Amino acid sequence: MMKNKLPAARTWKEEWKEIQGFVVLLWHERHDFRRDFPQIAAWCASGVFSCAVIGGLGIACYQAYGWLRYSKWVPISVITVLEWADVPWAFYPQEWSGLHSLLSAIPLSIAIPAVGLLFLCVVVVAIRES
């Protein structure tokens, strides 16, 4: 009967040194920032867009929960967020009242993903032109 021999236990410091060595090896062998930048930018932009969509869905789910449980829709607009941030213009607009009306009509659950999509489109266009 053969015994399974396990490798000797290593400390976390030894493991960390090995990980650092691997990262340094990858960094020095493969890193060409100018070549990798479009891919890095695309990953970041898609991450921002994904977070924006998830945030918008979360806000919509919160509103739907309030409606289903209490039969009351909780309106959350862009102006609502500005009011939460104590922006004086959001409470008493003395200028740009048309913009105030527009922002109070746009639901935040649509505005956040729209801004994320705009950011993604700008990054994609910038990558294609470079």
- In-domain check, residue 28: no
List for the chain the helix, strand, coil content (%; round to 5): 75, 0, 20
- In-domain check, residue 41: yes
Domain that holds residue 43: 36-129
- In-domain check, residue 112: yes
> What region, left, alpha or beta, does residue 96 occupy, with left being phi > 0 and alpha being psi -120 to 50 degrees?
left
Q: pLDDT-based confidence at 25, cuts 50/70/90?
A: low
If one counts the domains in the chain, the total is: 1
CA dist 41 and 127 (Å) reads 8
Q: pLDDT-based confidence at 96, cuts 50/70/90?
A: very high
pLDDT, tens digit, 9 for 90 and up, residues 35-70: 667 777 888 888 899 999 999 999 999 999 999 999
